[in-house]
Amino acid sequence: MKKALITGITGQDGAYLAELLLEKGYTVHGIKRRSSLFNTDRVDHLYQDPHEKNIRFKLHYGDLSDAINLTRIIQEVQPDEIYNLGAMSHVKVSFDTPEYTANVDGLGTLRILEAVRLLGLTEKTKIYQASTSELYGLVQEVPQTEKTPFYPRSPYGVAKLYAYWITVNYREAYNMFACNGILFNHESPLRGETFVTRKITRATARIALGMQETLYLGNLDAQRDWGHAKDYVEAMWLMLQQDKPDDYVIATGTTTTVRDFVIKAFGHVGVELSFTGKGTEETATVVACKNPDYNIPEGTTVVQIDPTYHRPTEVDLLIGDATKCKEKLNWAPQHSLDELITDMMEADLRLFKKEKYLRDGGHDTLNYHE
Ligand code: NDP
Ligand code: GDR
């Protein structure tokens, strides 16, 4: 039975990957951070009581900024595969916390590689590094391939650039099985609430249900190659099942603006939008509401721009060419963008219908101060 260690197991990808590996018969170990509130919502359904026999899912307290802790966990677990998914993963927030982001996203990767090397596990342990299309940054070439030059545009992108190259370097210097998956944006109902897709699907559901009036966004012109996280974790696993370590782009090959994502999300609840105005004056108003379950009057402004969400330097256009991955790993995305949006919208509608039901019945919040 293979053993996997996942950093970032409490995040979107960590949760889907843990499910996939358990299905494949792995024992899964994950690193979670100590937090003053529970932070394991996404993997609670996988939890096993540590008092049971033959535990196949185990969480360890740890942090990518703590080399001693990482080394101890790796020594204890002796993993066949490490998936380094842990990161401060929000591009805009990385401008506010650049040093922390460099430490966790950049040096965190070094700590994992160095622990494996010092523990003498280079022959045994394969490593997956969560690299990103943010490495491409300023557009040099479209679509982007494994050979497109990097030009990151945020402290997050720069930290991930270090992580990318240190992974390549350890592979070449110490003959380690270490791979970079250069993953383009991937989303799901488990996506963090402050990433743009989830922010849009949550707000659309809440506006449709009469729980929110306005969705405030930043740059509507940004174009992203959005896939489904469920498909992308499969590609991570495939990379570590090959005879030789390598780096791969994982993408759908189609790109969409943030504005069009908004139009599609509102379309899901039968609401047709019209965008007017330019720059920070741009707004979206309701032209028609065709679903009798939702009652948003024509002419209601539902989207406005808030410059707070603009980034000091932006990545304008991402579109990936995953030909290498298709040819070598026989991988292709299974979900279209419309299917992804349906999945996310349905999940958020369910979530907020439940919240509205509780709120209308006066049972919505637990107030600890009463
Ligand atoms: P999430 O933000 O959902 O999850 C990040 C995970 O990292 C969480 O489990 C988080 O813990 C953990 N983490 C954060 N800081 C630390 C730390 N200091 N030490 C240990 N763990 C930490 O990200 P995703 O699941 O979306 O992404 C997974 C990885 O893939 C990330 O490295 C991301 O940068 C990268 N990536 C993501 C893409 C995407 O579109 N989703 C595309 C390309 C790359 P906690 O739950 O406690 O916050
Ligand atoms: P990104 O994802 O920066 O591509 O990084 P995000 O969803 O945050 O932004 C995508 C694009 O939407 C624009 N945008 C907004 N973004 C957010 N978050 N909030 C807004 O209100 C908003 N309005 C417009 C952004 O400017 C941007 O152009 C994600 C993360 O998962 C990274 O960890 C990962 O490496 C990359 O995807 C690939």
Q: For residue 31, what are the β-bridge partners?
A: 7, 60
End-to-end alpha-carbon separation of the chain, Å? 50
ipTM: 0.99
Smallest CA separation from ligand 1 atom 44, residue: 132
Which of 135, 158, 183 is the endpoint of a domain? Answer: 183
User: Is any ligand 1 atom within 6 A of the Cβ of residue 8?
Assistant: yes
What are the pocket residues of ligand 2 if the criterion is a CB atom closer than 6 Å to any ligand atom? 89, 91-92, 132-134, 184-185, 194-196, 199, 217-219, 222, 224, 258, 309, 311, 314-315
In a domain, 247, yes or no: no
Please state, in angstroms and rounded to a whole number, the distance separating the CA atoms of residues 250 and 321.
Answer: 8
Average pLDDT over every residue of 189-205? 98
Closest CA to 253 of 337, 173, 193: 337
> What digits encode the pLDDT tens for the residues 80-106?
999 999 999 999 999 999 999 999 999
Question: Are 95 and 164 members of one domain?
Answer: yes
Which of 161, 183, 205 is the endpoint of a domain? Answer: 183
Smallest CA separation from ligand 2 atom 15, residue: 196
CB contact at 8 A, 40 and 48: no
User: Is any ligand 1 atom within 6 A of the Cβ of residue 236?
Assistant: no
SS3 38: coil
Please state, in angstroms and rounded to a whole number, the distance separating the CA atoms of residues 339 and 350.
Answer: 17
Ligand at minimal distance from the CA of 35 is 1
User: Is any ligand 1 atom within 6 A of the Cβ of residue 85?
Assistant: yes
Scored b (16 or more CB within 10 A) or e, 110-145 reads bbbbbbbeeeebbeebbbbbbbbbbbbbeeeebbbb
Question: Are 66 and 127 members of one domain?
Answer: yes
Looking up residue 294, the CATH number of its domain turns out to be 3.90.25.10
Question: Are 169 and 85 members of one domain?
Answer: yes
Question: Are 175 and 216 members of one domain?
Answer: no
Looking up residue 102, the CATH number of its domain turns out to be 3.40.50.720
Question: Are 68 and 154 members of one domain?
Answer: yes
What pLDDT, on a 0 to 100 scale, did the predictor assign at position 314? 98
Smallest CA separation from ligand 1 atom 21, residue: 86
Average pLDDT over every residue of 312-330? 98
Compute the Cα dihedral for 305, 307, 308, 314 and give only its sign.
positive
Is a pLDDT exceeding 80 seen at residue 365? no
> What digits encode the pLDDT tens for the residues 51-68?
888 899 999 999 999 999
Question: Are 205 and 110 members of one domain?
Answer: no
Ligand at minimal distance from the CA of 13 is 1
Average pLDDT over every residue of 327-342? 98
In a domain, 246, yes or no: no
Separation of 153 CA from ligand 2 center, angstroms? 12
In a domain, 273, yes or no: yes
In a domain, 16, yes or no: yes
Count of domains for the chain: 2
Neighbours of 262 (CB within 10 A): 24
Question: Are 71 and 162 members of one domain?
Answer: yes
Question: Are 69 and 171 members of one domain?
Answer: yes
Active site residues: 132, 134, 156
In a domain, 65, yes or no: yes
Measured N-to-C along each axis, helices 155-174 and 108-118 cross at an angle, to the nearest 10 degrees, of 20
User: Is any ligand 1 atom within 6 A of the Cβ of residue 107?
Assistant: no
Ligand at minimal distance from the CA of 227 is 1
| Distance set, CA 309 to CA 92, 113, 200, 217, 314 (Å) | 8, 35, 13, 6, 11
In a domain, 322, yes or no: no
Question: Are 356 and 281 members of one domain?
Answer: yes
Q: What is the mean pLDDT of the chain?
A: 97
In a domain, 191, yes or no: no
Domain carrying residue 85 = 3-183
Question: Are 28 and 123 members of one domain?
Answer: yes
Closest CA to 132 of 335, 325, 320: 320
**Which ligand 1 atom lies nearest to the CA of residue 131?**
44
CB within 8 Å of 329: residues ≥ 6 apart: 235, 238, 239, 242, 248
Instruction: State the Rg of the chain over Cα.
Output: 21
What pLDDT, on a 0 to 100 scale, did the predictor assign at position 362? 87
Please state, in angstroms and rounded to a whole number, the distance separating the CA atoms of residues 232 and 7.
Answer: 16
Smallest CA separation from ligand 2 atom 21, residue: 217
Please state, in angstroms and rounded to a whole number, the distance separating the CA atoms of residues 33 and 260.
Answer: 36
Which of 136, 154, 183 is the endpoint of a domain? Answer: 183
Separation of 210 CA from ligand 1 center, angstroms? 32
Is a pLDDT exceeding 70 seen at residue 115? yes
Strands 81-84, 57-61: pairing is unpaired
Amino acid letter for position 161: L
Average pLDDT over every residue of 301-322? 98
Please state, in angstroms and rounded to a whole number, the distance separating the CA atoms of residues 46 and 33.
Answer: 17
**Which ligand 1 atom lies nearest to the CA of residue 86?**
7
In a domain, 243, yes or no: no
Q: Which two tokens stand for residue 203?
A: 């707000």
Question: Are 78 and 116 members of one domain?
Answer: yes
What pLDDT, on a 0 to 100 scale, did the predictor assign at position 329? 98
Question: Are 24 and 48 members of one domain?
Answer: yes
What pLDDT, on a 0 to 100 scale, did the predictor assign at position 32? 98
What pLDDT, on a 0 to 100 scale, did the predictor assign at position 54? 87
